[in-house]
Amino acid sequence: MNYYKDLLDTNGKIYNFDTLSHKYGLHGNVLHYHSLVAAIPLHWKGKKKTLEKTVSPNFDKLKCKTFKSRTIYTALIKAVSSFPENTVAKWNEYLGLDLDNEAWQSIFQNLYTTSMSAQLRALQYKILHRTLATNRMLHIWNIIDHELCSFCMTETETLTHLFYHCNFTKNFWAKVKSYAYDEFHIDLEFSIKDVLFGNYDDNTEGKYYDMMIIAGKWTIFQCKVACCNPSIEYFIKKLNEFKGIELKLAEQNNNLFQYYLKWGPLA
């Protein structure tokens, strides 16, 4: 299975979970299936034939550069990627934002500049594309029989409730703020936009700020999955792990200057 058309039956419809699993001998679960389907851009759906064309990135522009696999990969991704207009329109409407496409490009770019961790990038990618498995989504996908928040069990577990509005989450963020102030003398203040999208206006100095927020989101989601309340101890442990990995990589790559620039007072 290499192409979008491999997911389609002879009528151009996406195979259901059972048929797809059987056809390709897959071992994923229904959750993986729905994540895959949700990640398909709307304008692809129903356009089987046009998607069969060969991807042809403009390699001429790359001739003067040294060819590395990353250069070619980036050119290929650029050739097939498209701006997720439906998703950003939903976010703008849902949060009452008026962010233009340039701001959204920075938000999506921020996903890759904030952290080198594949785990954190995957989490943030799902949040931005609104495909994270909140209880509301699990309920829509018929995987669980309710859509209530895993922590308070009173409100619908949407992305905004889970990561910002829930009282249990607010209590957790208050502990993170106290930790940031007591340990590093950082006044960590953030809006719902900062929590969901990061401090995307700043490419360097703001990264330790973003790392604390995304490590907080990681903690919230892992604790939701583990059916326990968000834990400040787990947050501190994970933040130190992410920092330790980046320090080792910076030492190996002789890039400590960038490491200290990024982590600032947390380094």
Interface with Zn ion by CB under 5 A: which residues? 149, 151-152, 166
DSSP 53-106: SPP---GGGGTTSPP-HHHHHHHHHHHH----HHHHHHHHHHHT----HHHHHH
Q: Which is nearer to Zn ion, 111 or 166 (CB)?
A: 166
CA neighbours within 13 Å on the CB side: how many for 31? 11
Pair 211, 242: CB distance under 8 Å: yes
Q: Which is nearer to Zn ion, 39 or 140 (CB)?
A: 140
Q: Which is nearer to Zn ion, 104 or 151 (CB)?
A: 151
User: How far is the C-alpha of 151 from the C-alpha of 254, rounded, in Å?
Assistant: 43
Q: Which is nearer to Zn ion, 141 or 168 (CB)?
A: 168
Q: Which is nearer to Zn ion, 105 or 154 (CB)?
A: 154
CB neighbour list of residue 166: distance below 8 Å, 6 or more residues apart:
149, 151, 152, 155
Kindly state the smallest distance separating residue 149's Cβ from Zn ion, in Å. 3
Burial 205-240 (b: 16+ CB within 10 A, else e): ebbbbbbbbbbbbbbbbbbbeeeeebbbebbbebbe
User: How far is the C-alpha of 132 from the C-alpha of 18, rounded, in Å?
Assistant: 22
Kindly state the smallest distance separating residue 207's Cβ from Zn ion, in Å. 29
Q: Which is nearer to Zn ion, 20 or 127 (CB)?
A: 127
Kindly state the smallest distance separating residue 151's Cβ from Zn ion, in Å. 5
Kindly state the smallest distance separating residue 155's Cβ from Zn ion, in Å. 5
Kindly state the smallest distance separating residue 243's Cβ from Zn ion, in Å. 29
Q: Which is nearer to Zn ion, 166 or 211 (CB)?
A: 166
For residue 156, list its beta bridge partners: 148
Kindly state the smallest distance separating residue 198's Cβ from Zn ion, in Å. 22
Please classify residue 70 by burial: count the beta carbons closer than 10 Å to its beta carbon, then call 0-12 exposed, 13-18 middle and 19+ buried. Answer: exposed
Kindly state the smallest distance separating residue 248's Cβ from Zn ion, in Å. 37
User: How far is the C-alpha of 218 from the C-alpha of 238, rounded, in Å?
Assistant: 9
